[in-house]
Amino acid sequence: MVLAVTEDMARLADFARRLHIYISTLGTGFTFFTFGMVVIALILIADCVTYGMGVTVKNVAIAVAIVTSIIISVFAVYTVILKARGTREASAKGWWFMVTFGAPFTLMYSIGPRLLPRYVMPTIWFLCLGMAFLLSHFICERPLIRKGVMVAKPFLISGIFMLASYPLILYISYIHIPEGRVGLVESFASGMTLLVYYIAGAYSLYKANELFK
């Protein structure tokens, strides 16, 4: 009798542990779907609103759109994943995530206009996003995986995919932007971003479902 109760308690504890990881991993996947829609929507809106105002104004507007998206994603990660670790730790992780994610954008948009060719700037946000995902994996995502909070690595996957595909975007920018086809390049970069987000989100959902197979 005692042995049976002990086994039931062990199974219940294991189920609770896997359920906690399942919710965190599932939340990460939905965060990528949400963040992907928000960031591309805001970039497209910024692109349309600043039409005809010059490259500098457009780049600033896109940077503001991405920063806004970062704030939204930090809030989503905070509420869905990190809050399970406690309010104080969640708050600290949320700030670290925001600083880490924003660092590449701050650096590139500060020095980029003075040092980089003009054809690079319209899609520099794609490179910054890839770098931000990779940094966020090492600083925020990997510790959560080591603590057993989640099992998927969507930030790592997104960072690798975006950095690996950036040379293609840079090549397309080199060909088309000097000819004035900025919108074509930005649309391609936006489409690639949505594809990466979908892959990362679907991967997270798959890994979450694997916990109960």
* DSSP code, position 179: G
> What's the pLDDT at 70?
66
**C-alpha–C-alpha distance, residues 7 and 3, integer Å:** 6
Give tens-digit pLDDT for 110-133: 888 888 888 888 888 899 889 988
What's the mean pLDDT in 9-29?
A: 70
For the cut 80, the answer to whether the pLDDT of residue 170 exceeds it is yes
pLDDT for the residue 184: 83
Q: Which tens digits make up the pLDDT trace of 144-164?
A: 788 877 788 888 999 999 999
pLDDT at 103 over 60: yes
Largest CA distance in the chain: 80
Indicate the pTM of the whole model: 0.77
Q: Tell me how far the alpha carbon of residue 117 is from its chain's centroid.
A: 26
Q: What is the signed CA dihedral for 128, 132, 133, 139, rounded to 10 degrees?
A: 160
Flag whether pLDDT at 203 surpasses 60.
yes
CB-CB neighbours of 6 under 10 Å: 10
User: What value does the mean pLDDT take over residues 52-59?
Assistant: 72
Could you tell me the residue ranges of all domains in the chain?
2-210
